[in-house]
Amino acid sequence: MSQTAKEYLFHQYRVIKILGEGGFGRTYLVQDTHLRDQLRVLKKLITPMEGNNLKKVQELFQREAKRLSEFSHAQIPKLHAYFLENDSLYLVQEFIDGHDLLKEVLQNGRFKQKKILQLLQELLPVLDYIHSHKVLHRDIKPENIMRRRSSAPNLILIDFGAAKQFNSTLQQKGANVIYTPGYAAMEQMMGQPCPGSDIYSLGVTSLRLLTQSFPSHDQYGNRIDKLCFYDRKGLNWQWKEYAKNQAIAVDQKLADILDKMIEPCLENRYSCAQEVLADIERLKDNQSTIIQKTNNSKYKQLSLLFFV
């Protein structure tokens, strides 16, 4: 980072600490000294490209950052500023006071069905919102979902630094493909993400939180995943078998919804968030009917409340 960049970073945005670092850049918690030291998140994105490719990436970054800055949704961090400096790209975003869901599940244990249902009901409308604006998230996972410490709504979808416009120029040969192994659908790994890819990742995220089972690696670097495996036919999910072995109760109707969200074949998967929400509403209506019938029965102590 040049001296000029350092002055801009440290003069307007006073660094408090580094929040994270990876192959695509570094994230800082900063104070905006121009706005009475309000907390912000500043992301420096690394673009290892040259010449015309770098110019295309910079143009796309500015176009997409402008699109994200126009978002107005309570569950999406506000983008306050964006700029270029010495071939690096910077985003300044709203700071969310809270914790991510990976930390939550590791500290408090797996999510029960009621909590999974709440997760879907809170985040599917967010997907519907961003998809209606022709934007994909492309990296949905527990680490990118924050639970706000106070005020509602609680769940916030973060890290839109990876978001790109449909059919973006970054899909061209040689471009970086952004996804997290173990959460991304096949079409996304092949460089052709679509709204169904975000639905897939949200479905996988739900399964990880429900079972508290996350991918790991053996001594040779091979990925180990107890919820799925590959064979000659492709990807096979075995999460229901794992849940049964771990004595994790899963209602069949909810399982059917999750299965359709993570369907490897795009044609058999939900195509949009509204389809998933419609099935969830039918599930809730059915459950309400069961509860009503049970309460009207002399056997109401046998209530079938499976979302606990």
DSSP 269: S
Contact at 8 Å (CB) between 127 and 76? no
DSSP letter at 85?
E
Do β-strands 88-94 and 25-32 pair in parallel, antiparallel, or remain unpaired? Answer: unpaired
> Which tokens sit at 73?
């949704």
Residue 110 class from Cβ within 10 Å (0-12 exposed, 13-18 middle, 19+ buried)? Answer: middle
Q: Do 264 and 239 touch, CB atoms closer than 8 A?
A: no
Structure tokens given for 52: 């015309």
Given this model, what pLDDT does residue 204 score?
98
* Predicted local distance difference test score (pLDDT) of residue 3: 42
Rounded to 5, what percent of the chain is helix, strand, coil? 45, 20, 35
- List, in order of start, the domains of the chain with CATH numbers: 13-94 (3.30.200.20), 98-295 (1.10.510.10)
Q: Tokens for 227?
A: 């919820």
Which one is catalytic: 32, 100, 139, 225?
139
pLDDT at 163: 59
Neighbours of 234 (CB within 10 A): 9
In angstroms, the first-to-last Cα distance of the chain is 51
pLDDT tens, position by position, for the chain (308 residues)?
444 444 456 568 888 899 888 766 788 999 998 888 899 999 888 766 666 677 777 887 888 888 888 899 999 999 999 888 777 788 999 999 999 999 999 999 999 999 999 999 999 999 999 999 988 999 999 999 999 987 777 899 998 756 555 444 444 444 456 789 999 999 999 989 999 999 999 999 999 999 999 999 888 888 899 999 887 777 899 999 999 999 999 999 999 999 999 999 999 999 999 999 999 999 877 766 655 555 655 444 444 444 44
Question: Any catalytic annotation for residue 139?
Answer: yes
Cα–Cα dist 29/44, whole Å: 12
Would strands 13-22 and 25-32 be described as parallel, antiparallel, or unpaired?
Answer: antiparallel
Q: What is the pLDDT of residue 234?
A: 79
Tell me, rounded to whole angstroms, the distance of Cα 152 from its chain centroid: 19
Helix ranges restricted to H, the chain = 3-12, 51-69, 101-108, 113-132, 186-189, 195-211, 239-245, 252-261, 273-295
